[in-house]
Amino acid sequence: MTELYRNPNENAEEYAPAEPITQETPSPLDIDRDWLVGVLVRLLQTPSPTGRTDAVMQFVGDMFTRLGVPFTLTRRGALVAELPGEPSPADTAERAIVVHADTIGCMVQRLKPNGRLELTPIGTHSARFAAGARVKLFVDGPDRVYTGTVLPLMASGHRYNDAVDSQPGDWEHVELRIDEPAENIEDLRRLGVQVGDFVALVATPEVTDSGYIVSRHLDGKAGVAAALAVAKAITENGIVLPHKTNIMVTISEEVGHGASHGLVDSVAELVSLDNAVVAPEQESIEDGVTLLMADLHGPYDYHLTRRLHSLAHSGDIPCVRDVFRHYRSDAAAAIEAGAGTRAALLGFGVDGSHGWERTTIASVEAVARLVTMWLRTKLTFAKWDASPEGELEGFPSALQPAPVERWTRLAPDEHPAGQDD
């Protein structure tokens, strides 16, 4: 047994908890590391800029099929897999793990008279990190894919000398050079290139002996790999969870829609797995779990965040709290779309996010292990959270006390209206 988290107001009789706040704490399940890394590398090697994600979803679906986990796809192509929960007629509350398989990328904005392509970013990311990238350009039709390189407009050191260093690094100062003979717009048209074609930045994943994974697009895909590893651990151990759990793989997180569709109403707790921001003046760690307390969309659920932190502590999983200023997630999209669920986010540490990204196997594994603990507990408030609404007497307000502010009655001559009330 463990405390879910410490009640800061445990002496206040008037706020006696409406239900016990302790329950059995399971230990983390072992995660198949080699499998996790293998799946992650395959995900990274499958291009999936937001808006062109069908191939990666085919792979994700194939992985769930191999694990024997049933799933459905939405019309738009997001996937919802289902880990069974204990049958309970009185309690139909479900859980959701949400991850995203789409990544940042680019689209052809304009065919240029010099035979190169102007790009616009898909998702928010800097051209500074795109410059130099090898890419794949997808023209319409399944058979043709061109390779190329994103270049600064002044790309030749022998031609421009020091001016190379002083040119701006924004999207208006880069262009795509494809590896085909193209000197003008006509050449590009002959190759089938059109405005609106998708461009994927090649990820080039590397797994080092020291335990790092260095690749573009860890943002998103390491979360998908963690979720798949959780599904593998749960199914191979023959575990029936206390609550049916949906694993939702979304396809448009990088442009903000994320989990805005496809989530069932009965989800009471949602945890998104996504990148944590390893950067100066952030708390995020690269070798453990980062628990997000708030981001651009606001604070995450008070009780669920603290519950997850407490579980990490019980399971000896390194876990820190952090707040991200320039960050949104699938959880935000779900909440904004009206989901009546508690929501939290567990992050694997990513250094250089949306740029030259790096994480550790240990961090992705730690996130997966913590999720295996959480899924095997009952809801944060087993009774209160079981239904979408309830009476005040059952509302677990004891864990969030707020001392009442002091006030002083104004004297009559100080009253703004000049008279006593």
Taking the least distance from each CB to Zn ion, the nearer of 91 and 351 is 351
Taking the least distance from each CB to Zn ion, the nearer of 175 and 357 is 357
Smallest separation, CB 112 to Zn ion (Å): 28
Taking the least distance from each CB to Zn ion, the nearer of 76 and 326 is 326
Strands 212-214 and 358-360: antiparallel
Phi, psi of 307, rounded to the nearest 5 degrees: -60, -45
Smallest separation, CB 354 to Zn ion (Å): 6
Taking the least distance from each CB to Zn ion, the nearer of 219 and 322 is 219
Q: How far is the C-alpha of 262 from the C-alpha of 275, rounded, in Å?
A: 22
Q: Is 197 in the site for Zn ion (CB under 5 A)?
A: no
Among all residues, whose Cβ is closest to Zn ion? 219
Any residues with CB less than 8 A from the CB of 87 and at least 6 apart, and which?
A: none
Smallest separation, CB 107 to Zn ion (Å): 16
Smallest separation, CB 330 to Zn ion (Å): 10
Smallest separation, CB 328 to Zn ion (Å): 9
**Size of the chain in residues:** 421
Smallest separation, CB 167 to Zn ion (Å): 26
Among residues 341, 327, 275, which one has the least CA distance to residue 297? 327
> Interacting stretch for Zn ion, rule CB under 5 A, among 46-54, 159-167, 219-227, 258-266?
219-227
Which region holds residue 141: left if phi is over 0, alpha if psi is between -120 and 50, else beta? left
Taking the least distance from each CB to Zn ion, the nearer of 219 and 351 is 219
> Interacting stretch for Zn ion, rule CB under 5 A, among 53-61, 217-225, 231-239, 314-322?
217-225
Strands 289-295 and 319-323: parallel
Q: What is the DSSP string of 190-223?
A: HTT--TT-EEEE----EE-TTSEEE-TTHHHHHH
In the chain, the N- to C-terminal Cα span, in Å, equals: 55
Q: How far is the C-alpha of 345 from the C-alpha of 284, rounded, in Å?
A: 13
> Interacting stretch for Zn ion, rule CB under 5 A, among 20-28, 218-226, 233-241, 343-351?
218-226
Taking the least distance from each CB to Zn ion, the nearer of 197 and 219 is 219
Taking the least distance from each CB to Zn ion, the nearer of 102 and 365 is 102
Tell me how many residues contact Zn ion (CB under 5 A): 1
Among residues 175, 197, 219, 385, which is the contact residue for Zn ion, using CB under 5 A?
Answer: 219
Burial of 316 (0-12, 13-18, 19+ CB in 10 A): exposed
Taking the least distance from each CB to Zn ion, the nearer of 327 and 384 is 327
Using alpha carbons, list the distances in angstroms from residue 194 to 138, 189, 198, 199, 214: 10, 7, 10, 12, 32
Phi, psi of 395, rounded to the nearest 5 degrees: -70, 120
Smallest separation, CB 81 to Zn ion (Å): 22
> Interacting stretch for Zn ion, rule CB under 5 A, among 17-25, 68-76, 180-188, 213-221?
213-221
Taking the least distance from each CB to Zn ion, the nearer of 115 and 121 is 121
> Interacting stretch for Zn ion, rule CB under 5 A, among 26-34, 133-141, 215-223, 278-286?
215-223
Smallest separation, CB 275 to Zn ion (Å): 7
Smallest separation, CB 220 to Zn ion (Å): 6
Q: How far is the C-alpha of 33 from the C-alpha of 360, rounded, in Å?
A: 12
Touching Zn ion, residues 60-99 (CB under 5 A)? none
Smallest separation, CB 400 to Zn ion (Å): 31
Burial of 323 (0-12, 13-18, 19+ CB in 10 A): middle
Taking the least distance from each CB to Zn ion, the nearer of 94 and 219 is 219
Among residues 231, 292, 301, which one has the least CA distance to residue 80? 231
In degrees, rounded to 5, the angle at the alpha carbon of residue 170 between the alpha carbons of residues 169 and 172 is: 120
> Interacting stretch for Zn ion, rule CB under 5 A, among 30-38, 89-97, 177-185, 216-224?
216-224
| Residues within the interface to Zn ion (CB under 5 A) | 219
